[in-house]
Amino acid sequence: METPNALTATEAAKRIEAGTLTAEALVASCIERIDAREDVVGAWKAFDRDFALQQARALDKGPRRGSIHGIPFGVKDIIDTADLPTGYGSPIYEGNRPMADAPCVALSLASGGVLMGKTVSTEFASRHPGKTTNPHNPKHTPGGSSSGSGAAVADGMVPLAFGTQTGGSVIRPAAFCGCFGWKPTYGLISGYGVKENTRSFDTVGLYARDLDDIALFRAGVLALPHEPIAEGSLTGLRVGFCRTMMWDRASAATQERIEHAAAVLAKAGARVTDFPLEGPFAGFAEAGKTVTGFEFPRSLTWERTHHADRISDELLKTVLEPGLKVTLAEYQRAQATIAACRAWLVDAMADVDVLLTPSAPDEAPEGLSYTGDPCFNIVASWTHIPAVTLPVYTGPKGLPIGVQFMGRRGGDMNLLAMAKAALPALRAG
């Protein structure tokens, strides 16, 4: 028999509402899974079983609070929590206890969620990795920077989790670990109380093992009524096959899977056309690097001033110090290039409903020191459009390969509906 930790959030929420499952039993089952697997997976930075069980018991006794009543969720450790330490993935913040929860956490708790713990982040949501391994093979990276959230959800330790994406930090770990990841339209979920990397790109996102769970969690996080994902059809759906400028960086297996996905969608009735990124996109990758270069080292000024010795060389020497050489004029030109790409995309997407693209260049790389290449995630991150990754394929190494859909700015629910319509066909393959 399935243990409660393996249920989707949607199913668990239904059972809790019907009285056939308690929040306490669900949380206890997740704790059991964590106890069994944490030594290998290392998804958690802070985890307090008593605190989790205490929340669950209170919810079982009280009135229904909202869409995720009784459902445990993990919080990436760069997001502030008042009841658990918040380390921002850095030894500098060991033991840091913010006074308040970030709005996204407070909104989840107000909707009945159970704060299960803080999940491992790379250092300041940049590259330097934490302890987390890929739940499918501990010799491989889980991706980053939301390493612990992707791994914890994919491994069944918790049905829901928060991540953040500046380059590829929500979609990539989801793809590598084999769960769903949603990077919403920029600004949709409040980013206050989230340690800043590059404010112009930073976006809070969600993880789940089921697409409907994303909508359930979304309702809680936004303090909106639960709007289930609409039932859609592939017939006539206009799919832009977006290989991006980075197609050559995708492995043969990934190229083959995404080409296959395009063929499957076409066979199921979608109108699939090539969607090359042109015009200002020639300068896109360089421009985004310049924007991060200008913003990130300024954002970490207090840390650079007082604790430079506890910043990794990887971050200090290869990101922050070069970034400080970016001039304001270069930064402003780069922002103008990104703005031009956003406008170009709005026009180009007038003829398509959704973009199909890889979630990552390959299966999760071997080793834990490199969290992988975000090259297929920067388009959505920097142009502010929503993206979702669907865990539908497996690669030659037996690790997950995701399929990424990107939608129109603000059209997040429509994007989820198109993904949901595509999912059965993609899974049937």
List, by residue number, the catalytic residues: 76, 145, 169
Q: Provide φ and ψ at 265, rounded to 5°.
A: -65, -40
| 350-409 binders of a second copy (CB under 8 A) | none
Strands 238-241, 271-274: pairing is: parallel
- Single out the residue of 43, 300, 341, 345 in contact with a second copy (rule: CB under 8 A): 300
- Could you tell me the smallest distance in angstroms from the CB atom of residue 294 to a second copy? 9
Contact region with a second copy (CB under 8 A), list: 15-23, 40-48, 216-224, 394-402: 216-224
Q: What 3-state class would DSSP assign to 346?
A: helix
- Cβ closest to a second copy, residue 42 vs residue 89: 89
Return the closest-CA partner of residue 29 out of 57, 1, 6. 6
Answer yes or no: are the C-beta atoms of 200 and 113 closer than 8 Å.
Answer: no
- Could you tell me the smallest distance in angstroms from the CB atom of residue 29 to a second copy? 27
- Could you tell me the smallest distance in angstroms from the CB atom of residue 174 to a second copy? 24
- Could you tell me the smallest distance in angstroms from the CB atom of residue 312 to a second copy? 18
Return the closest-CA partner of residue 134 out of 115, 120, 148, 119. 148
Distance CA 427, CA 429 (A): 5
321 belongs to the binding site for a second copy (CB under 8 A): no
- Cβ closest to a second copy, residue 101 vs residue 362: 101
- Could you tell me the smallest distance in angstroms from the CB atom of residue 161 to a second copy? 19
DSSP code for 369: S
- Cβ closest to a second copy, residue 110 vs residue 245: 110
- Single out the residue of 24, 155, 196, 353 in contact with a second copy (rule: CB under 8 A): 196
Q: Which residues of 7-46 are buried (b: 16+ CB within 10 A; e: fewer)?
A: bbbbbbbebbeeeebbbbbbbbbbbebbeebbeebbbbbb
CB-based contacts of 35, cutoff 8 Å, min separation 6:
none
- Single out the residue of 1, 252, 328, 428 in contact with a second copy (rule: CB under 8 A): 328
CA distances to 19, 75, 137, 199 from 205, in Å: 30, 11, 24, 15
- Could you tell me the smallest distance in angstroms from the CB atom of residue 403 to a second copy? 27
| 222-281 binders of a second copy (CB under 8 A) | 222-224
- Could you tell me the smallest distance in angstroms from the CB atom of residue 155 to a second copy? 29
- Cβ closest to a second copy, residue 209 vs residue 409: 409
Type of residue at 141: T
Q: Give the chain's end-to-end CA distance (angstroms, integer).
A: 28
Type of residue at 56: A
- Cβ closest to a second copy, residue 128 vs residue 409: 409
Type of residue at 295: E
- Cβ closest to a second copy, residue 138 vs residue 411: 411
- Single out the residue of 332, 369, 370, 427 in contact with a second copy (rule: CB under 8 A): 332
Give the number of residues written for the chain: 429
173 belongs to the binding site for a second copy (CB under 8 A): no
- Could you tell me the smallest distance in angstroms from the CB atom of residue 298 to a second copy? 6
- Cβ closest to a second copy, residue 92 vs residue 270: 92
Strands 203-208, 180-183: pairing is: antiparallel
Task: Kindly write down the DSSP assignment for every residue of 235-269, as one continuous string.
Answer: TT-EEEE---TTGGGS-HHHHHHHHHHHHHHHHTT
Q: What is the CB neighbour count within 10 angstroms for residue 368?
A: 20
- Could you tell me the smallest distance in angstroms from the CB atom of residue 92 to a second copy? 8
- Single out the residue of 57, 249, 271, 298 in contact with a second copy (rule: CB under 8 A): 298
- Cβ closest to a second copy, residue 196 vs residue 373: 196
Beta strands across the sheet bearing 354-358: 44-47, 114-119, 72-76, 160-165, 203-208, 180-183, 387-394, 400-406, 354-358, 238-241, 271-274
- Single out the residue of 200, 377, 383, 404 in contact with a second copy (rule: CB under 8 A): 200
Strands 387-394, 271-274: pairing is: unpaired
Contact region with a second copy (CB under 8 A), list: 17-25, 33-41, 121-129, 327-335: 327-335
199 belongs to the binding site for a second copy (CB under 8 A): yes
Our measurement of the distance from residue 52's CA atom to the centroid of its chain's CA atoms, rounded to an integer in Å, reads: 23
| 94-133 binders of a second copy (CB under 8 A) | 96, 98-103, 105-107, 109-110
- Single out the residue of 20, 61, 305, 428 in contact with a second copy (rule: CB under 8 A): 305
| 55-84 binders of a second copy (CB under 8 A) | 82
- Cβ closest to a second copy, residue 299 vs residue 389: 299
Binding site for a second copy (CB under 8 A): 82, 93, 96, 98-103, 105-107, 109-110, 187, 190-192, 196, 199-200, 222-224, 295, 298-303, 305, 324, 327-328, 332, 335, 410
